[in-house]
Structure formats: structure tokens, C-alpha cells
Amino acid sequence: MNQRPETRRKIGVLVVDDSAFMRTALSRMIGSEPDVYVIGVACDGSEALEKIAALNPDVVTLDVEMPGLNGVETLRCIMAQSPRPVIMVSASTERDAEITFTALGAGAFDYVPKQLPPTSLDIVHIRQDLIAKIKAAARTRRPLPALGIRKPPQGVDSGEPEPEIFSIMPAVVAIGISTGGPKALEDMLPLFPRDLPVPILIVQHMPPGFTAPFAQRLNKLCLVEVHEASHREPIRPGVVYIAPAGIHMIVERPSDSRPVIALTRQPADQMHVPSIDVMMESVAAVYGSLAMGIIMTGMGSDGALGIKSIHGRGGIILGQDEASCVVYGMPRACAEMGILQRVVSLSQIPQQILRATRYRKPAPVAAVVPGF
């Protein structure tokens, strides 16, 4: 049995990176937190597997790009041999972003940006993000399961008892999501049909450089159109808009016109940019009772005020259930406020949206027989 130091109740983290500078920087950030300590370091995938077997860390931070076994290959070995929460450490290039999304699909808990910013205030923010994700990962103490819900869109025919239909038919769906979101959205969005009758606006907490590749990745998986939102573009049914990182996405309705996306730096005092609260509050103001707000897996409480705004305007409110969340933080905050009308599993969310919009599968086109 592996022996731990006297700080046994602390969270032991194995830092894996081929850069000595990054191993030192990450170790210092982790070591500055009283409840967390570095149990060991490794410079490549092979050494990481040896250290995991010898040290039994609670959480592993894993570099995406390494010589020999790369990050994804190492992750898959970890999940096969000794599953535990793994946080990917990724650069913001398009290639690294794509590899990171592959890692999340293979069971990684979350990811953090690899580049260290130039100012001490930004470094403090990265440290807080890293420590929060390590603590959340340690609480789960399990790899993420493959949800296995992806299948061709089937309207509302799920084989489950049909829930009571909503009295309001929404004109827009606003989704807030964070930790665990990329994998959840990859599983959920392909379930929607090409003729989805409503637009979907999504704020997924991500660092700069990740949202455009993520939207492109989703667009290849889905029948509906998915793209990173741009300033002043009209909001159209059947389109999924991903909020760009580093700027708020809101909804505006110009006079005598249909609603449009607006990208703005205000308000500047938000912990998360883009902010789920800011997006949902604008949706509530423009759409009123015709809005459907959904809060999904993620740490913290971003989205609670926005969900409350939609609820206050008479809109429809859904929350993802604890069992299917990677981190039951944001949905819990809304549940504790008593504003969730329904709490459902990830696999049931598409069905709820389709039923709320009264979606029905198009009737098959009858074959034309010559002479009739």
C-alpha cells in the first residue's frame, strides 16, 4: 500500500510536463495552496505512468504536447490502467485546442491554459482557476464516463415516458455551461434535427483561442449549424451560437427589427467573460416569457442571476441533474434558489427542448409511382 506524507488529507497532484519551466511554475502554484501539494513530477508520459503506479496521486495535470507518449495517449493509458481525474494543460493554438477536446472526450476532467500571462494579476487568476479545478477534480475522484447518448435525431421519440408539455412555446433557448461542457455539448447537440425551430445561444466558459475551434468541431458533428457568434448577426432558428471567449455575448433588438447578437466588453466587473448571467439577462429582457433557460454542468454560480431573470419574466427553466453533471455547481446554485422548473439528465435535455417547441419529425415523402 502506498504511503503518503503526514499531509494525507491534502490533495496530492502529479505534475506532468516536458518543460522544466512549466513543471516549476505549476508546482509553485499548487504548492502555494494549503489543501493541495505536489506529490511528484514527470517529464513525459512513460514516467507519468510509473509515478502514478508508485505515488497514487489524487489528480494529474497533464501536458497536451509531449515527446514519446503525447497527452492523449498518456491519458488513455491512465484511464485504462489506473483511472483518476486528469486536468489537461494546453496551449491556445488551434492544434492544441483540438487535441484538448479529444482528451476531454477520452475522459479528461478539464483543462487549463499553458501560457503564463505577463501580469501578476493574471497569474493570480490562472492560479485560482487551476486550484479550483484540482479541488473539483479531487472531489469527483473518478474519470468521466462515456455518456453514449449520441444517435441520429429522433424528434421526441426517446422510448421514455413523455413529460408534461410546457404551456409556453419558446422562441429561443439560452444555455449556460462550464466544467464538463465540451463533452456534454458534443454528446447533446448532435441529437437536434436540421430543422430545429429555435436558435440556441450558448455560453461555455473557455480561454481565448478555444471557442472558434470548438464551434467548428461541433459544426462537423451536428445537423444544425454551429458557429462562433459575431457582432450584429441576426439570430436565426436552427442555428447554435457559441459565445466567443474574452467578450460578453448579449441579445439586442434594434427598433423594428429581429433580435441580433451583440458582443461587448461591458459590464467589465464580471468574474467570467463571457458571463452566463449577462447573456441570460439580455435574453430575458428581449424575449421575456418566450425564453427557455438551461443551466448545465459547471463550477461556481455563474448563471444563477440570469436564470432568475428568465424565471421572473415567465420563461421556461431547466437544470441538469447532479448524476449527469461533471460538477454540480451552477445547477446546484439555481436549485437552491428554487427557480428550476425541471431537473433532468443530460440525455433528456434535447427531448425537453424539442417538446417545448412542439417539434414533430417531418412526414416521409411518398414515392411517386408512374401512371398514378
Q: For position 51, which CATH number holds?
A: 3.40.50.2300
58, 63, 110, 302: which is the annotated catalytic residue? 302
Instruction: Please state which of the ranges 80-94, 144-158, 211-225 shows the lowest mean pLDDT.
Output: 144-158
Asked whether residue 21 is domain-assigned, the answer is yes
Asked whether residue 94 is domain-assigned, the answer is yes
Cβ 62 vs Cβ 16: under 8 Å? yes
- Asked if 125 is an active-site residue, the reply is no
pLDDT in tens, 164-173: 678 889 999 9
> What is the mean predicted confidence (pLDDT) over 317-323?
96
pLDDT of 161 above 70: no
Q: Assess whether the previous peptide bond of 274 is cis (omega < 30° from 0).
A: yes
Report the share of the chain in percent with pLDDT over 70: 85
pLDDT in the model for residue 135 = 94
Q: How many domains does the chain have?
A: 2
Going by C-beta distance under 8 Å and a sequence separation of 6 or more, which residues neighbour residue 261?
A: 201, 229, 230, 231, 232, 233, 234, 235, 241, 249, 250, 251, 252
58, 90, 96, 178: which is the annotated catalytic residue? 178
Asked whether residue 85 is domain-assigned, the answer is yes
pLDDT in the model for residue 83 = 95
> In the listed set 140, 158, 191, which residue is the last one of a domain according to the structure?
140
Cβ 293 vs Cβ 168: under 8 Å? no
pLDDT of 144 above 80: no
DSSP class of residue 322?
Answer: G
pLDDT in tens, 14-26: 999 999 988 998 9
Asked whether residue 198 is domain-assigned, the answer is yes
Cβ 14 vs Cβ 55: under 8 Å? yes
- Asked if 272 is an active-site residue, the reply is no
pTM of the model: 0.85
**Do 177 and 136 share a structural domain?**
no
In terms of Cα–Cα distance, which of 102, 103, 108 is closest to 86?
108
> In the listed set 122, 140, 158, which residue is the last one of a domain according to the structure?
140
**Do 259 and 337 share a structural domain?**
yes
Rg of the chain, C-alpha, whole Å? 22
pLDDT in tens, 34-71: 999 999 999 999 999 999 999 999 999 999 989 889 99
> What is the mean predicted confidence (pLDDT) over 293-317?
96
Asked whether residue 89 is domain-assigned, the answer is yes
**Do 198 and 127 share a structural domain?**
no
Instruction: Please state which of the ranges 73-87, 121-135, 169-183 shows the lowest mean pLDDT.
Output: 121-135
- CATH number of the domain enclosing 233: 3.40.50.180
pLDDT in the model for residue 184 = 95
In the structure, what pLDDT confidence band is assigned to residue 124 with cuts at 50, 70 and 90? low
**Do 212 and 101 share a structural domain?**
no
63, 96, 205, 275: which is the annotated catalytic residue? 205
In terms of Cα–Cα distance, which of 62, 59, 154, 46 is closest to 99?
62
- Asked if 248 is an active-site residue, the reply is no
pLDDT in the model for residue 207 = 86
Asked whether residue 365 is domain-assigned, the answer is no
132 vs 16: CA distance, rounded Å:
18
Domain that holds residue 86: 11-140
